[in-house]
Amino acid sequence: MASVIGGTGSFFGPWKENHAWAQGAKPIKLGLTCDASGQYGNSGQDDFRGIKMAIDEVNAKGGVLGRQVSFITADTETTPATGSRVAERFITREDCTILIGALHSGVANAITQVASKYGVIYMNTNSSAPSEAGENCSRVKFVWDGNGTHFSKASVKNAVDSVGKNWMLLTNDYVWGHTTSAATKAQVEAAGGKIIDNLFVPQNTRDFTAYLLKIQQAKPDVVATAIGGDDIKALREQVAQLKLDGKPAWINNQQDWPDVWGAPDSLFGVFGTTWYHKLQLPGVAEFVKKWQAANKNGPIPVPGNVSYNGYMSTRELLRAIEQAGSTNNVKIIKEIENLKVSATDRMQHFDAYMDPVTHQMQQTIYLARRNAKPADNTDLFEIISWTEPKSAADDAAPGKCKLTPYEQVPTVDS
């Protein structure tokens, strides 16, 4: 195992470990389950940058409960089987008492199953399938990203009313795509529209010609996509090449910043996000500068929603441990279940809170489009609306989520 002093070092195989503590109390050890390859490899590493920044900040201030925070990380490869193996190893062989990180909802659910078996807290930083806080919820898991239902509720009704009632869905063929498109379908039909077709796209698709031909032939008013990672980058390029970015209208659910960066000319339609580095809100500019200082010479020059979610989830976890006065898992869980964060502290437009029934972070949901008048080469989004948490809430999730009683959660304490 390669040890890393002061947060720098090299990989030994797929594993990377951080030992950044002075002599004294045993550190609190976290397992970071971040993709470094596969469909969400770029986003997984941006997630890691935000998580590590929060860890470094708390260690610089003396740690948590007088203890430093260490971590180990490995590539979960955007595959559920690998995510499960990594989680199992982190818990049983590396003595990690908390896991953090996710993009792919199938990977997140696989990690959840392992974490739940052992009672290990799991912070799902960036996986946005509605099922993560619905049928696949867990007492030990907290979901920090906005989900497909949140983004659909923020966008669909207005599009049905102003653009048209005939919709097509373009759906990545795995749990996030399925549950996100199901949420979109429900919102479209509730608004008086109809779904004329749902095209399922295998993961890692690079040629969208057949799907785009079907869209041209069907002539829908709106196409709503649930396509992510490297797939959405390929789709954007081909839509632009075929000049389909004007008509039909496109609703692209959430667009993760690492998937957008570097290809602004192919950005089209209306899409969602949870944060933007040029929001004119207190603390945003300062956060961007801190992130840049912590990530010099990185592949992306400014933080986006993925790194933001990684940072915020880790910051709130470490605060919860301090506030609980304990590393006991159930005490920390109860602390996070009662979490309320001011708009200023979140750097968003509205106050946020953790839903204690579903463990979904309820937060401001933004809609954006390509910025036609950017202030600089990072100013890719024009934020066109922001929706408060209660208006975007996933009303179906509480009926699907069944949290294990506290007394049935295995005890974990570091």
Q: E strand or H helix at 91, and its extent?
A: helix 80-92
Residue 213, CB half-sphere, CA atoms under 13 Å: how many? 4
Summarize pLDDT for 172-213 with one digit per residue, the tens.
Answer: 999 999 999 999 999 999 999 999 999 999 999 999 999 999
Summarize pLDDT for 295-333 with one digit per residue, the tens.
Answer: 998 999 999 999 999 999 999 999 999 999 999 999 999
9: left (phi over 0), alpha (psi -120 to 50) or beta: left
pLDDT (0 to 100) of residue 19: 52
pLDDT (0 to 100) of residue 245: 86
Confidence of residue 246 (pLDDT cuts 50, 70, 90): confident
Task: For residues 335 and 72, give the distance between their C-alpha atoms in angstroms, rounded to a whole number.
Answer: 24
Q: Quick one: average pLDDT of 10-38?
A: 71
Q: Quick one: average pLDDT of 15-37?
A: 78
Summarize pLDDT for 69-78 with one digit per residue, the tens.
Answer: 999 999 999 9
Query: Is the bond into 248 cis (omega within 30 degrees of 0)?
Result: yes
pTM of the model: 0.92
Summarize pLDDT for 353-404 with one digit per residue, the tens.
Answer: 999 999 999 999 999 999 999 999 999 999 999 999 999 999 999 999 999 9
Task: For residues 244 and 230, give the distance between their C-alpha atoms in angstroms, rounded to a whole number.
Answer: 19
Which residue's structure tokens are 């709130």?
A: 316
pLDDT (0 to 100) of residue 15: 53
Confidence of residue 262 (pLDDT cuts 50, 70, 90): confident
Has residue 286 got a pLDDT over 90? yes
Q: Supply the mean pLDDT for the chain.
A: 94
Tokens of 404: 């294990």
**311: phi then psi, degrees, rounded to nearest 5:** -65, -50
**What SS3 class is residue 371?**
coil
pLDDT (0 to 100) of residue 5: 26
Task: For residues 254 and 273, give the distance between their C-alpha atoms in angstroms, rounded to a whole number.
Answer: 5
pLDDT (0 to 100) of residue 333: 99
